[in-house]
Chains A and B, each alone.
Chain A
Amino acid sequence: MDKTAESIKSKFLELGVDIPLEDIVERLDKLVTKFKVPLDEARRSVITYFLKENNLDRNAFFGGQSTTPDSRSTPDVKLNGIDEGGKWVNIKAKVLQLWDSSHESVSQVGIIGDETATIKFIKWSRDTIPDVEEGKSYYFKNVVSNEWNGRFEITLNKNTVVEEIDEDIEVISSPMAGAGDGQPAPIVNVADIAEDGKWVSIRAKVSQLWDNSHESISQVGLVGDSTGTIKFIKWTSAELPDLTEGSSYLFNNVVAQEWNEKFSVTLNKNSSIEELDEDIEVASSSIIFAGAMVDVQSGSGLIKRCPECKRALTKGACMEHGKVDGTYDLRIKAVLDDGNTAQESILKRELAEQISGITLDDAISMAADALDQGVVLDQMRLKLLGKYFTVTGSKVDRYILVDSIEPQDEMDMEMLDELIADAEMI
């Protein structure tokens, strides 16, 4: 073990970091002796620990090809020269737009451009790089190109240096034009939204508002027109008026985004909303599914939601707001299975009450009597598992958000006769 510790120490010394031998020995010993980790695994774990402590790159230690470039060797490129992922480059570009970051791990995201092209950039929160400002030009040194869904973007990282420059970089008149400069993007049909990152305007009706899952989102749901429906996200920072379910609007300058081959539109600071007098007809996106309820998943039954963001709490804590005094709700996450497909389905309170026969008040007192929220789920499982149901609703990702559910408790004789006739023919 001492040998291992010494070899770790000397390796770190080569990288210019002097770690006291006893620190290495102590960590190694704890892993090997107390937690019975094999020496090899322990060695790796200790190295990883000290690399992290000292902000060093793994590859530097293991002598593989360094992914941390020497900035002298990083080429200056124009944006249209970015044609493969994983390249280190320097670029001079102007920040054209900053978007609302959808995730706390992203500190800034937006579009930069030069005279040849525009490209999306991402700056992570973990890297302490000063914020860039819209309209200013910068020299971005040591950024990495990435390919994502067939498009390129650049990411800033801990080796990146961003210097503001005096020159005002001329930017190609981009396909993005129309977004920030007062000219509304063209109005398109919902079904025609098929290009990631494109600015469009749509005339559509809000067909559903969903439970909001994140504080940076002010509203989320579905909008639709006669050609289809699409998910929308309205960022809190967009400071737009709230939408009402069932009302129709003209949405100017929204951005199409692709995620897992599905499109959504986001409403941001550059977007505007006008309520329309007409009632836009929405193409039905409702689907019907019939099958046996083969599972009532955990997270069903009596749950608590965060009063701020309506997100379901886990062990009394909200992922976003920490420990909060939650409000009770009922829901069922069911798996319906027709023998060919296992379909996950989410039932909100009214429907959960309707099919389980347990009201929210019943559930609260059941849980209080048993000193256990789980009894509600147990009761629901007893009542529902193994029975046949037909649901209608909209399909979102892998779920059906159920609008209506009916137990199937009678044989359809016509169907049975057809089935018999069918079976006679073979």
Chain B
Amino acid sequence: MSGYVREVSRRVFAQEFRESNLTFKDGDDQYSPQYLLTPTGAKVNRLFIVGTLIEKEDIGTDSEYWRGRVSDPTGSFMIYAGQYQPEAAQALAECETPAFVAIVGKPSTYTNAEGTVFTSVRPESISIVDVATRDLWVADAARRTLERVKDLDNMDSNVVKAKEHYNTDKDHYSSMIREALRSLKEDL
């Protein structure tokens, strides 16, 4: 009972999420949680994203399997929901595009034959939200990403690991944050 701690929902922009490809497990039994380590050192087992659902398609053959594309100011997230995510699949089936959606989900990765890693999100929940919530999320994600960029000089083991793997360019991500925030300012 006391051992269980719910995984925090990390805030990561679509661009950084797309540029992530390092997964690892904490511990080595089959129930150890899997994490995606992003270039700025976010250790992600769960994500919270708010964006615009711009495409959706049932790509399932036997049963419904929904693919959606959710965009934020920096790019887009791919989301996949099938029979094991019944609530999310139903929400995708019923909603219209475009729509503002809030998604809580798990990161997942797929490596193609050429060895390229694609990231996507397996949603636990999808809900329709308003534009204000979407803007709040952009500011929220900017703040958390900024915190991570500032911490890139730390010797924290996740940061060290991320920098070693990605050779993280600080300017690349700080300009991403600035652009996202400016877009917010322009819209308002």
**Chain A interfacial positions (CB closer than 8 Å to B):** 260, 292, 294-295, 335, 337-342, 344, 381-382, 385-388, 408-411, 413, 415-416, 419-420, 422-424, 426
Contacts and interface: CB of A to CB of B under 8 A. Distances in A.
A295 B178 contact: no
Given A385-B127, A387-B129, A292 B178 contact: no
A411 B11 CA distance: 17
Interface stretch (B24-32, B52-60, B106-114, B179-187): B179-187
B125 A426 contact: no
Contact of B102 (A260, A387, A415, A424): A387
Given A340-B144, A416-B184, A423-B177, A386 B6 contact: no
6 contacts: A292-B102, A294-B48, A342-B9, A385-B102, A408-B136, A420-B182
A340 B148 CA distance: 11
A316 to B, nearest CB: 24
Contact of A339 (B9, B102, B135, B185): B9
A113 B50 CA distance: 63
B63 interface: no
Contacts of A260: 2
B107 to A, nearest CB: 15
Q: Among A386, A409, A411, which residue has the most Cβ atoms of chain B within 10 A?
A: A386
Interface of A: prevailing SS: mixed
B14 interface: no
Contact of A381 (B9, B125, B141): B125
Contacts of B10: 339
Interface string B130-146: 10110111011111101
B104 interface: yes
Given A416-B181, A423-B146, A411 B125 contact: no
Contacts of A388: 133, 136, 140
Q: Among A260, A339, A385, A426, which residue has the most Cβ atoms of chain B within 10 A?
A: A339
Q: Among B101, B104, B130, B184, which residue has the most Cβ atoms of chain A within 10 A?
A: B104
Q: Among A344, A382, A410, A426, which residue has the most Cβ atoms of chain B within 10 A?
A: A426
A423 B174 contact: yes
A289 to B, nearest CB: 13
B188 interface: yes
Given A292-B102, A342-B7, A423-B146, A415 B139 contact: yes
B178 A420 contact: yes
A141 B5 CA distance: 43
B81 interface: no
B163 interface: no
B170 interface: yes
A358 to B, nearest CB: 16
B102 to A, nearest CB: 2
Nearest to A413: B188
A414 to B, nearest CB: 12
B127 A381 contact: yes
A381 B137 CA distance: 19
B67 to A, nearest CB: 20
B142 to A, nearest CB: 6
Contacts of B170: 426
A411 B131 CA distance: 11
Interface in B79-106: 101-104
Contacts of A341: 8
Contact of B139 (A335, A382, A419): A419
Contacts of B178: 420, 423-424
